């Protein structure tokens, strides 16, 4: 039998591969630390630049708000308030007058089936200057009204149709009545 015998005061160890691997890992960690530190510094610079731009924008907004407040105060003075109210009234009247009844009836004539009667039409203008028609239509049966709604939605001049009510025939009124609201593409 053989016994391993080592007469050296310190036994031989193979530490070189472990030391080289440790040095490589340390170098890799140092490089990644440098990259992360440079990224953090560039992010800090970008944040400072963004904050500076936001301060400038906030200052512009504050100036615009102050100017708007001054203009509002000038417009609300007793003499100017009456002129402002009158100009708003005139603008509303001009918008209402801009709706062409002839064009409405021409566009409706293209899509209106002969079995459907229009009982009433009331154009309305929303805040975005879009026209919608609030109509009451009547027919002997529901099918022509459904066809009329489909033709309205398929038309270029009209948009989405919403039926908000239906009244069945009665002794006084022998026709089905439907209340429709349709978007109308008439430029004001």
Q: What does the CA dihedral 94, 69, 65, 67 come to, rounded to 10 degrees?
A: 90
pLDDT in tens, 68-118: 999 888 877 877 777 778 888 888 777 777 788 888 888 899 999 999 999
Which tokens hold the place of 26?
A: 């340390």
HSE-CB of 115 using CA atoms within 13 angstroms: 13
pLDDT, tens digit (0-9, with 9 covering 90-100), for 7-49: 666 766 778 889 999 999 999 999 999 999 999 999 999 999 9
Tell me if the pTM is above 0.85. no
Residue 52, pLDDT score: 95
At 167, give phi and psi (nearest 5°): -120, 125
Q: Tokens for 170, please give them.
A: 């009665």
- Closest by CA position to 139, among listed 181, 180, 182: 180
């Amino acid at each position: 039998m053989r016994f391993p015998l080592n007469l050296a005061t310190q036994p031989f160890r193979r530490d070189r591969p472990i030391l080289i691997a440790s040095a490589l890992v340390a170098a890799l960690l140092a490089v990644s630390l440098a990259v992360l530190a440079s990224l953090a510094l560039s992010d800090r610079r970008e944040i400072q630049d963004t904050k500076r731009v936001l301060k400038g924008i906030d200052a512009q907004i504050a100036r615009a708000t102050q100017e708007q407040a001054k203009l509002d105060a000038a417009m609300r003075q007793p003499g100017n308030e009456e002129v402002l109210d009158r100009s708003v009234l005139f603008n509303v009247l001009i918008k209402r007058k801009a709706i062409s009844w002839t064009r409405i009836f021409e566009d409706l004539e293209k899509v209106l089936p002969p079995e459907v009667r229009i009982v009433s039409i009331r154009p309305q203008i929303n805040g975005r200057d879009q026209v919608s028609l609030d109509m009451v239509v009547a027919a002997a049966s529901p099918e022509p009204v459904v066809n009329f709604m489909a033709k309205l939605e398929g038309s270029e001049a009209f948009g989405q149709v919403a039926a908000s009510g239906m009244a069945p025939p009665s002794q006084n009124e022998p026709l089905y009545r439907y209340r429709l609201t349709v978007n109308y593409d008439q430029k004001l």
